[in-house]
Amino acid sequence: MSELDRLQDRIAYRFSDIGLLRQALTHRSSGSVHNERLEFLGDAALNFIVAARLYTRFARVSEGDLSRMRARLVREETLAQVAASIQLADSLILGPGEMRSGGSRRDSIRADALEAIIGAAYLDGGFAAAECIVDHLLLPLITEDLGAEELRDPKTRLQEFLQSKGRGLPLYELVEEKGQAHERRFVARCSVAGMEPTEAEDSSRRKAEQQAAQLMLCKLQNLSPPAQRHAG
């Protein structure tokens, strides 16, 4: 059995046009016919399929949190790990320079090739073929654990984040009430020591506080230093 046959077994899809699979595995360092356009196509298909699966699986999760969950699944690090699990590096077609520098171990090259395979499958067998690969490789990662953080409300997550950093607890206050009795609007403020307060408006004080907490959490996380990445 050839390496391409073994790879097709591992992705649970067999190509009618094996040339498309070869192109998906070909890095631009190897020649003028490479996988970058297929990667573009596969990235779009991957994002949509993952979004659809998350939408179905997590009915209570907001749009913003679904977006964060999707980003966690389709990020380079996750895709490189999936690529490693199917031994994708063994099938990559690289130019001499990339081979000498260990390109097959680089996360970006493996992740891009995986997206290119999804794009190639779309061209080979239609959207169902792309779904087949994405479901086989990524559906096992869509578990309750993935959504555990998102399923907690923003006030709880903000409190836990601050406690993990040894910071004081947030303070909430009602800034303003608007509108008639049957259509009241509430403006709530969330304050954290050392940060500009955040404010949000909604149809209930609780919802307004939740939104203000979410805004504060985003500000704090954006200020946190990015995780260290190590070359693979």
Residue position matching structure tokens 């996380």 = 221
Residue position matching structure tokens 């090259």 = 109
Residues pairing with 199 in the sheet: 189
- Annotation says 90 is catalytic: no
Give the count of beta carbons closer than 10 Å to the beta carbon of residue 163.
11
Structure tokens at 80: 């490189």
Structure tokens at 36: 């970058």
The Cα 54–Cα 67 span in angstroms is 9
Catalytic hit among 107, 112, 115, 150: 115
Catalytic hit among 43, 107, 131, 209: 43
Residue position matching structure tokens 């081979």 = 99
- Annotation says 115 is catalytic: yes
Q: Which amino acid is at 81?
A: Q
**Active-site residues: which are they?**
43, 115
